[in-house]
Structure 1
Amino acid sequence: MKILSLLLPALLLMGCATSKHRWAQDLTEEVPQEKVLDIPFLAQEKNMCGPVVLKMATNFSAPEYTLSDLKEMTFREEVQGTFQSDILSAARRMGLTPYRVPSSSAMWSQIRDGRPVIVFQNLGVSWLPAWHFSLLVGYDSVKDKVYLHTGTEALQSIGIKRFQKTWERGGSWSYVVTAPADIPANASFEEALQNAMLLEKIDQQKPAAEVYQQMIVKFPTRFEPHLGLAQIYYAQGNKKAALKESETALTKSPGHIALLFNLSILYFENGALEKARELKRETLAHASPEERAAYENRFTF
């Protein structure tokens, strides 16, 4: 019943654009005016900013992973460093979920909600870059400053304009890493869905299911989270649970041909032959001539 990738909408590519002139204004509008998270600091060894920052960011959500584990996941000997994609893939291998933080206001919002933000900076210049991962742990809107765990310095205080420039020179890349059931308020449906699907792809079934379950709460009109849960349950051999989620998915998208087909197969495998045949007829009735031929060849009853 591997149809999830056929049904889910195309995932959006996250842009990096942000309004430059709003940084200071966004910060001065923050309430509270100062917020600094209590995140334990780890000093960085040479070229190890990636794994160290990921460890600090996930120390509460995945404490079982040691710094050595994260070095193994993210550090590339051939370049003596860590790529941005390594941070995201490692987070998912840990059973966690990364979410893009696309703007200054989103950064302050995440800090206010208790989530540190992994930021990628260019501490050099465009023609001689010095790439670096830091952890944004706080801000002070009165002093126009932010606080970073970075390099060998805890709570480094840096002016907002300087921070903005280093972040933008780094490609405006920043993420939070959350437990799977913790979907940030400003996260999009597409990004949550992408996380669930990628977790499922690397056989992180339990956290994938937790994302889908939370998506049902956050996006109650969408059928896709139910379909994702159905696929997980089906892979686990729990066909009754898969059937229940597929039925719910169809109530949220009546007449969806692939859902009808999927449900007919599940009814058949659960021994409800008459119901399976009814859904088969409905599937074929909704199908275009081209689709009808394809679906007829896939039915075995």
Structure 2
Amino acid sequence: MIRHGKGGGRQVTALFVAPLLALMLSACQTLPPPQRAETPPQLRLDVPFIAQDAYQCGPAALGMMLQWNGLPGNKEALVHEVWLPERQGALGIELKAAGRARGLLPYPVENPESLFSEIQAGHPVLVLQNLALKHWPVWHFAVVIGYRDDGERIVLHSGTDQATTSHWNRFVRTWARADYWGFVLLPPGELPARVEAEPLLQALAPMRTGALPHWQAAVARFPDNGRLRFGLANALWAADRREEALAAYERTVALAPELAPAWNNLAYARRDAGDDPGARQAVCRARELAPDSDNVRDSVAEITGGDGC
């Protein structure tokens, strides 16, 4: 067992932790799994297993998620990428960043209903557990790959145990003590089973590698969301698909007319298309919406040739 801040730590005596956990869990009220777990009553995903070495549950869990996506997930290589020697562990933010760097979408899974929804959609879930007390944490990364008995038992790849089972009540309390932190890692074009526009925007915003198909899927799911449409327009522009980007910027300002950055970028897209009057109109609208923005001020000077609005 490892005691550490979310992703780092030192060894603790398992002889002490085990009875402590038993006492703590026996005093807890039973928490039933969501009713949706009854249909189907059991499910197990085919997810490759990687046994962890000491302190390295993060690289092992990430490697399993990558291999499930059909990508290389060599644990030793991932140690150098996400493992922090000073913490003797990995941070969740590093695991998500490693997924994004490979063109995968990390989307949060933060409650039991979402956990079962993702498993039933065929998506394994990487979770963080606190195996001890809230104020004396023992952090651990594992991959939920299924459940049994109407959700009464959870199936995980955890530590050195492949497809081990944990009683739901025990699992959910260790997960709750880690603030229900978890995520799926999805390939381009695939969205979570339970997806909302704002969390999706936040998950997509940091993406650089292979971002375009994710933005396209997001807009297909939420066609009237202006900020997601803006992200798609930027991704199209970065891919040098200028005509499509122009159309996406135009649609963005129609959906979100208060979004100054969209008007600013539309100005450049219009100028690129040879529409100088339209470019001036767009950048001046951006200036009206964001009069204190240095970026917009510079754009006004560039688009208008110093004449201003």
**TM surpasses 0.5:** yes
State the partner residue of 1:247. 250
| Cα deviation 1:47-98 (Å, max 9, x = unaligned) | 1111111111221314234223322221111121112222122221222111
State the partner residue of 2:224. 221
* Correspondence 1:94-113 to 2 at 5 A: 94-113=102-121
Percent identical pairs in the alignment equals: 27
1:61–1:178 contact (8 Å) kept in structure 2:
yes
SS at 2:183 equivalent: strand
CA distance in 2 between partners of 1:58 and 1:297 (Å): 46
State the partner residue of 1:271. 274
SS at 1:287 equivalent: helix
Unaligned runs of 5+ in 2: 1-27
Shift of 1:300: 2.2
CA distance in 1 between partners of 2:98 and 2:70 (Å): 12
State the partner residue of 2:130. 122
The correspondence for 1:163, drawn from 151, 165, 171, is 171
Shift of 1:127: 5.1
1:197–1:208 contact (8 Å) kept in structure 2:
no
Counterpart check, 1:150 vs 2:158: yes
- 1:194 maps to a residue whose letter is Q
State the partner residue of 1:287. 288
State the partner residue of 1:73. 81
1:99–1:177 contact (8 Å) kept in structure 2:
yes
The farther-off stretch of 94-103 and 123-132 is 123-132
- 2:125 maps to a residue whose letter is V
Counterpart check, 1:93 vs 2:94: no
1:49–1:132 contact (8 Å) kept in structure 2:
yes
| Cα deviation 1:11-59 (Å, max 9, x = unaligned) | xxxxxxxxx9894151575300111112122221111111111111221
CA distance in 2 between partners of 1:176 and 1:158 (Å): 20
CA distance in 1 between partners of 2:289 and 2:108 (Å): 39
SS at 1:198 equivalent: coil
Q: Pick closer, same or farther for the CA change 1:296–1:118 going to 2, 3 Å.
A: closer
CA distance in 2 between partners of 1:242 and 1:37 (Å): 39
The farther-off stretch of 157-166 and 228-237 is 228-237
CA distance in 1 between partners of 2:152 and 2:228 (Å): 41
Q: Pick closer, same or farther for the CA change 1:197–1:45 going to 2, 3 Å.
A: same
Q: Pick closer, same or farther for the CA change 1:188–1:22 going to 2, 3 Å.
A: farther
Q: Pick closer, same or farther for the CA change 1:297–1:159 going to 2, 3 Å.
A: same
CA distance in 2 between partners of 1:74 and 1:251 (Å): 42
The correspondence for 1:26, drawn from 26, 29, 34, is 34
CA distance in 2 between partners of 1:261 and 1:225 (Å): 16
CA distance in 1 between partners of 2:145 and 2:290 (Å): 57
SS at 1:59 equivalent: helix
1:268–1:276 contact (8 Å) kept in structure 2:
yes
State the partner residue of 1:188. 196
Shift of 1:130: 2.2
Unaligned runs of 5+ in 1: 1-19
CA distance in 2 between partners of 1:274 and 1:188 (Å): 38
